[in-house]
Amino acid sequence: MTVWDRDGAGPLPPALVVAYDVPAPPQQRRQAIVAYDEATNQWTYLARDVGTLVNALVPLSNGRLVAAGNFSSIDGVPAIDLASFDGTTWSQIGSIQSQAELHAVLELPNGDLLVGGEFQAIGPHPTLPATGLAAWNGTQWYSLGLPPSLGGTPTIRTLLLRPNGDLVVGGSWGGGWGIPREYIARFDGSQWHPFGPGFDAMVYDLGTLPNGDLCALGYFQFAGPLRVNGIARWDGSAWRAFGAGLQNSVGPGLGYRGLLLPDGDLLVGGMFSVAGNTPAAGLARWNGSSWQAPLPGQWGGGEMAWLHSGKVAMSTGGPTFLSFVQTSCPATVTSVASGCNGPGAAMTALGSGLPWAGATFHSHTDGVAANGLAFAAYGFQSPAQPLTALHPAGAPGCLLLSSAEVTWFAPAAAGRAASAISFPRATVFLGAQLHHQFLQIEFAASGGLLRVAGSNGLRLEPGAF
């Protein structure tokens, strides 16, 4: 499951992409890949016949979508275990032995694709020795310096690039890299290193918390001597627990997937009945100090994705393979009126995301002149007053669409100015309206004020999830 922006900076909203099981002959497994458009509430097939299994769906910076798993074709197109979709056609990436199974894909900063899974060699004949981890540079496979054996066939389940550029891998293996069965390791670009004492069982998911700590989820009970039960964080020097962690009646719970919410809380899905001391059937929320059960019922905790509208999509298993969870206090952004034309482009304010409590809302406008300065205004009123009434240099047809309780300079580059405002977690702003507009002051060559113009307005209504 992933969210894929099909047209990049184009007008289409990002789509939810899901792989799911479809009817197949006995002893066979087939899957389809579908995309969900929230705006139209429509599902569209991206692939009707994938056999056998898709383990990962990953959007790339070039706009393509990558599928990885254990399959030999997609809709009749030969593609072994790794393929990309350009919006119309699927095609093979690299060349992989049919006995491999891929679980994770990560796009590196240089555009190369790193894959993790269960294999000891990759590529066409002659194959490249690569134990569970290899990278494709667009022409050929290469290894990250791993030895050909890790004491058995490893299974790399998850890949994460840290802010400092280090690569972290998690999964299961039987030793190697000089690391005895610790299920997590770090690569600094030249050498592999352990993460402290590591874990006692498989790692399924990795992520970075808002404070920079590394979060690990899996089917483990201990991080070294520390009991953590399915979830732990690395603070730069040691592993720390999330309270009492995830538990079942028979032992530690399984932390399968984590999803950061806009306010920094962590939503965790897996197989567990208790989170901390709170009953939580497969779904729990960590607020930084304690666990909460966000929803009643049994969820089973599979894949999760945050949608642009503020919903969480979750794969739950069973006949209802996908569920959507949404808040009763939604965040909204509404465009108000229209902006003035800047030199060569209209001043159109656009928001990125929604104004959630505890999160930062980003916006931008194009149309800023090379001889102009842009300012971002935020206020509780929308005067809708002509700029010509405020200053003789006001551009005709332009309106002041936000009062100026808060105003700051918005640096511009290539005609685009950007701004950001953070909303506190407090409930005082929930349901209130905050108005926002970009204003531009253009100067003549002599230094005198030439023109004052403005963008459309944005009406922000903060919400909470």
Strand partners, 162: none
CATH classification of the domain holding 133: 2.130.10.10
pLDDT in tens, 355-395: 999 999 999 999 898 888 999 999 999 999 999 998 898 98
Q: How far is CA 180 from CA 19, 120, 134, 204, 219, in A?
A: 35, 19, 21, 18, 17
User: Do residues 275 and 377 both lie within one domain?
Assistant: no
Contact 194, 185 (CB under 8 A): yes
Domain end residue (candidates: 325, 356, 372): 325
User: Do residues 313 and 416 both lie within one domain?
Assistant: no
pLDDT in tens, 290-330: 999 887 655 666 789 999 888 899 887 555 578 888 888 89
- Residue 354 belongs to what domain range? 332-461
User: Do residues 107 and 229 both lie within one domain?
Assistant: yes
User: Do residues 245 and 393 both lie within one domain?
Assistant: no
Query: What average pLDDT is seen over the chain?
Result: 87
User: Do residues 134 and 179 both lie within one domain?
Assistant: yes
Residue 95 confidence (pLDDT): 80
Query: Of 109-113, 124-128, 174-178, where does the model show the most confidence?
Result: 109-113
User: Do residues 342 and 307 both lie within one domain?
Assistant: no
Q: What is the mean pLDDT of residues 260-287?
A: 91
At 24, the pLDDT band (50, 70, 90 cuts) reads confident
Contact 61, 107 (CB under 8 A): yes
Domain end residue (candidates: 305, 325, 345): 325
User: Do residues 300 and 272 both lie within one domain?
Assistant: yes
User: Do residues 169 and 242 both lie within one domain?
Assistant: yes
User: Do residues 203 and 287 both lie within one domain?
Assistant: yes
User: Do residues 317 and 340 both lie within one domain?
Assistant: no
The DSSP secondary structure of 77-114, one letter per residue, reads EE--SEEEE-SS-EEE-S---TT-EEEEEEE-TTS-EE
CATH classification of the domain holding 348: 2.60.40
Contact 439, 385 (CB under 8 A): no
Residues 137, 114: Cα–Cα separation, whole Å: 9
User: Do residues 318 and 365 both lie within one domain?
Assistant: no
Nearest residue to 267 (alpha-carbon basis) of 255, 278, 259 = 259
Domain end residue (candidates: 303, 325, 347): 325
Domain count along the chain: 2
| pTM listed for this prediction | 0.88
User: Do residues 356 and 249 both lie within one domain?
Assistant: no
pLDDT in tens, 168-227: 999 987 555 444 457 888 898 888 888 888 898 899 999 999 999 999 999 999 998 999
Residues contacting residue 54 through CB under 8 Å, at least 6 positions apart: 19, 31, 33, 67, 68, 69, 71
Contact 129, 148 (CB under 8 A): yes
